[in-house]
């Protein structure tokens, strides 16, 4: 059955009409998550969604809409109360949790770097845990620092996070997430704490990097401008449910109250009367 759409936007539907691709990298099948184990306390409800390989899927929504909860269900920081989350065709419950997490890069706001580690130690953490040879780790760290714009790598390799700017820490966070070359990258409002100029610079750089690497990326934001810039598809959440899925080109044309609310935020003028 073809799901109902409005100008290319797929509206919320039951789990049995899940959005499927031929070989999804990540799939939610009727997923509910509740802190109290009751549907009445669900943070996300009956989510059906497939993320295609190589796409950048942006989870957009207000605070409390369930964006970060969905992200954490992918790498099993949380486990669904009902339904299944599949990664590379296997339910997350069937994965060894350490193998699962090492196969998924994870970037959070303000990078989450280990403060007592150098840049080299932070970026090379997972390869070292995977028993890479030291020479291979060093080469990978240098390659990634160049890739994320921290050049020359030798200038940054021995620094600790406190010796970096906010934008530099986020670049190190992205490099660390990519270090073991995982097929999936999760990003939870990674640029949210940065000043507007640095944020815009990193958004542009990340957009180019995502196209170059062709990884499956799930990106959480409440900023519609960021979603429109970075996404191949936007998934809009409201109160724990998917209310719309659309490409950036289609999103602002959708006739849905929550879409209109986000579209209106693009028109807000600082200093103008409410």
CA distance linking residue 182 with residue 144, whole number of Å: 13
Angle at 114 between CA 85 and CA 182, to 5 degrees: 40
* Cis peptide leading into residue 152 (ω within 30°): yes
- Rounded to two decimals, what is the model's pTM? 0.87
Cα–Cα distance, 48 to 95 (Å, whole number): 20
Of 182, 147, 136, which Cα lies nearest the Cα of 25? 182
| pLDDT single digits (tens) 202-218 | 899 999 999 999 999 99
Contacts of 228 (CB under 8 A, 6+ apart): 234, 248, 251, 252
Neighbours of 264 (CB within 10 A): 10
Are 39 and 45 in contact by the 8 Å Cβ rule? The answer is: yes
d(CA 82, CA 37): 9
- Parallel/antiparallel/unpaired status of strands 82-87 and 90-91: antiparallel
Where are the extended beta strands (E) located within the chain?
Answer: 5-6, 9-10, 26-34, 42-51, 56-61, 82-87, 90-91, 104-108, 184-188, 216-221, 233-238, 241-246
111 Cβ contact list (under 8 Å, min separation 6): 161, 169, 170, 172, 173, 176, 190
Tokens of 38: 């009751």
Is residue 46 helix, strand or coil? strand
The residue behind tokens 């979603």 is: 227
Query: Going by C-beta distance under 8 Å and a sequence separation of 6 or more, which residues neighbour residue 216?
Result: 25, 26, 51, 52, 53, 54, 55, 57, 183, 184, 185
Please enumerate, as own/partner, the contacts of 95-100 that have beta carbons within 8 Å and a separation of 24 or more: 100/75, 100/76
Backbone φ, ψ for residue 113 (5° rounding): -75, 155
Domains of the chain with CATH codes: 1-53+61-95+193-211+223-266 (3.40.50.300)
If one counts every other C-beta atom within 10 angstroms of the C-beta of residue 164, the result is: 18
Residue-wise pLDDT tens for the chain (274 aa)? 334 444 446 554 433 333 334 679 999 999 999 987 666 679 999 999 999 999 999 999 999 999 999 999 999 999 999 999 999 999 999 999 999 999 999 998 877 899 999 999 999 999 999 999 999 999 999 999 999 999 999 999 999 999 999 999 999 999 999 999 999 999 999 888 788 898 899 899 999 999 999 999 999 999 999 999 999 999 999 999 999 999 999 999 999 999 999 999 887 655 555 4
pLDDT tens track for 137-157: 999 999 999 999 999 999 999
Token duo for residue 255: 């006739």
Q: Residue 142's pLDDT is what?
A: 96
């Amino acid at each position: 059955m073809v799901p109902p759409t409005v100008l290319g936007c797929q509206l919320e539907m039951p789990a049995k009409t899940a959005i499927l691709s031929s070989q999804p990298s990540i799939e939610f099948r009727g997923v509910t998550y509740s802190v109290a184990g009751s549907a009445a306390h669900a943070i996300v409800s009956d989510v059906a969604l497939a993320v295609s390989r190589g796409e950048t899927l942006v989870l957009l929504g207000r605070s409390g809409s369930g964006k970060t909860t969905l992200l954490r269900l992918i790498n099993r920081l949380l486990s669904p109360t009902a339904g299944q989350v599949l990664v590379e065709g296997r339910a997350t419950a069937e994965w060894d949790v350490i193998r699962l997490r090492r196969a998924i890069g994870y970037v959070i706001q303000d990078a989450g770097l280990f403060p007592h580690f150098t840049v080299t130690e932070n970026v090379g953490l997972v390869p070292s845990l995977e028993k890479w040879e030291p020479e291979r780790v060093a080469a990978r760290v240098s390659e990634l620092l160049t890739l994320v714009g921290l050049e020359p790598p030798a200038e940054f390799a021995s620094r600790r996070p406190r010796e970096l700017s906010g934008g530099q820490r986020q670049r190190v966070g992205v490099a660390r997430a990519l270090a073991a070359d995982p097929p999936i990258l999760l990003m939870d409002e990674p640029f949210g704490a940065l000043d507007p100029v640095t944020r815009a610079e990193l958004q542009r750089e990340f957009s180019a990097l995502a196209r170059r690497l062709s990884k499956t990326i799930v990106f959480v934001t409440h900023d519609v401008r960021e979603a429109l810039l970075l996404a191949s598809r936007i998934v809009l959440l409201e109160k724990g449910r998917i209310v719309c899925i659309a490409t950036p080109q289609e999103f602002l044309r959708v006739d849905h109250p929550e879409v209109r609310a986000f579209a209106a935020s693009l028109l807000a003028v600082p200093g103008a009367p409410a």
